[in-house]
Amino acid sequence: MLQTTPIDAATQSQFTRQISDRLQLALTAHLEHAYSPDHVKSLRLFSATETAELIGVTPAFLRKGHADGSLAEPAVNKSGRRFYSGDEIWEMRQILEAGSRKPGKYRPGRRDDDHLQVIQFMNFKGGSAKSTSAIHLCHYLALQGYRVLAIDLDPQSSLTGFCGLNPELEFDGQSVYDAMRYEDALPMQECIQKTYFPGLDLAPARLILSEFEVDTAVYSQEGVPFYTRLSNAIEQVEVDYDVVVIDSPPSLGYLTMAGLFSATSIIVPLTPSMLDVASTQQFLQMMADYIEAFEKQGIEIEFEDFSFLITRDDPSDVPSQQITGLMRALFQKQVLSATTLRSTAVADAAMLKCSIFEINRSDITRTTYDRARASMDAFGAEVAGMIQKNWGR
Ligand SMILES: Nc1ncnc2c1ncn2[C@@H]1O[C@H](COP(=O)(O)OP(=O)(O)OP(=O)(O)O)[C@@H](O)[C@H]1O
Ligand SMILES: [Mg+2]
């Protein structure tokens, strides 16, 4: 039963706490309604056509593999159609890669001396679609056969929620804070969880992550550097992943900066409105000041790529198209060609803490699904191309 009586408190702290408690109850009720109490998120099945497309073969090629026994038969529905689980797709990739003459055809991840790719989404403008873009990239890359680690650097824990953990309902286990903290930091391995999505692991966030900002203010006075806290943690697990995707909070504090010191690529999501552009300009000005201050101390920040991503793009909205045009004219290559379209399919999926990749095409209006999916695919493919280019391919 939702509480709806007026808030009645003697002090401001009680007033604020009552609001927070009431919201928490409402959120818990929403989550328990959306998921059964012991709900565990799982990945949908993929049709034969979609599976073949993801792997980069034809459905006939898969059928031949099943017939000659080289690829295990998946489940078949009542009308005789094959459906594949994420694990089965992952397994088929391994088998096909082992038998392929062209390395990386089915498993496009790191080889030999390829360096780990660390992609950070950042912008201190709140709501610029950092978390939405991060989860879509994670899912896209994992479906393409990359080993992905998602790191949630935002105490709001949106990315953690997308990965199937309910920060509002609490979860057991460590968070990335435990690997970054200044006292008794844990090995990063202990702070990472497998997710229900094959190929995707998560270093989750919890509210306590905001302590990192406070701790750093104290420890940096004692000369303990904050900027190696995350990069050292990532180094411990580097061999297990091809790509790390970092989501940042809407601020340019120590957490975001710790991410920046680990990142090989920066993506700045930007909703095309003048207010957002102005805010992003301030963000970049501050970032330049910070980087310069470090450079003066001889501490280098080295990222290979910097890109803007136009988010919630609406081709029918003339003013926003003009801003997108301005950004492209100003920065050319620094603006990703792909944009992520404003879509009710993406917003509705987010209500269920899902990406568009987790939604069945048959569950919503097909044209709506196709447009949203095509834009997220194009964004993922462009970043994958960037990754391959950084590996010299
Ligand atoms: N392509 C899209 N179409 C429709 N809605 C979108 C799209 N991308 C993001 N949104 C919605 O915009 C809102 C903000 O997105 P998101 O949480 O990803 O932003 P953020 O930058 O991570 O926010 P914060 O700064 O608070 O971390 C969310 O409600 C999300 O569902
Ligand atoms: Mg976010």
For the chain, what's the residue count? 393
Of ligand 1's atoms, which has the minimum distance to the CA of residue 132?
A: 18
Inter-residue contact 247 to 122 (CB < 8 Å): no
Of ligand 1's atoms, which has the minimum distance to the CA of residue 248?
A: 27
CA distance 103 to 110: 11
- Is the C-beta atom of 141 inside 6 A of ligand 1? no
Distances (CA, A) of 182 to 172, 213, 220, 297, 351: 21, 11, 10, 22, 35
Q: Name residue 26's amino acid.
A: A
- Is the C-beta atom of 343 inside 6 A of ligand 1? yes
| Residue 325 backbone phi and psi in degrees, to 5 | -60, -40
Sign of the four-CA dihedral 316, 319, 325, 328: negative
Distance 247 CA to ligand 1 centre (A): 12
pLDDT band (50, 70, 90) for residue 101:
very high
CA dihedral 391, 372, 348, 273 (to 10 degrees): 80
Q: Where are the domains of the chain?
A: 46-98, 117-390
- Percent of the chain as helix, strand, coil, to the nearest 5: 50, 10, 40
Inter-residue contact 309 to 261 (CB < 8 Å): no
Inter-residue contact 241 to 116 (CB < 8 Å): yes
Q: What is the pLDDT of residues 20-41, one digit of tens each?
A: 888 878 877 776 666 655 667 8
Q: What is the pLDDT of the chain when averaged over all its residues?
A: 93
Cβ atoms < 10 Å from Cβ of 80: 6
Q: Is 83 helix (H, G, I), strand (E, B) or coil?
A: strand
Q: Which CATH architecture has domain 46-98?
A: Orthogonal Bundle (1.10)
Predicted confidence (pLDDT) at residue 261 exceeds the cutoff of 70: yes
- Using alpha carbons, select from 339, 180, 328, 163 the residue that is nearest to residue 247: 163
Distances (CA, A) of 106 to 11, 93, 303, 358: 61, 5, 28, 21
Q: What is the pTM of this model?
A: 0.93
- Is the C-beta atom of 340 inside 6 A of ligand 1? yes
Q: What is the pLDDT of residues 275-328, one digit of tens each?
A: 999 999 999 999 999 999 999 999 989 899 999 999 999 999 999 999 999 999
Predicted confidence (pLDDT) at residue 90 exceeds the cutoff of 70: yes
Fold agreement between 46-98 and 117-390: no
**pLDDT at residue number 9:** 85
Q: Which CATH number fits domain 117-390: 3.20.20.80, 3.90.1150.10, 3.30.470.10, 3.40.50.300?
A: 3.40.50.300
- Using alpha carbons, select from 295, 202, 308, 230 the residue that is nearest to residue 265: 308
Of ligand 1's atoms, which has the minimum distance to the CA of residue 344?
A: 4
CA distance 150 to 193: 10
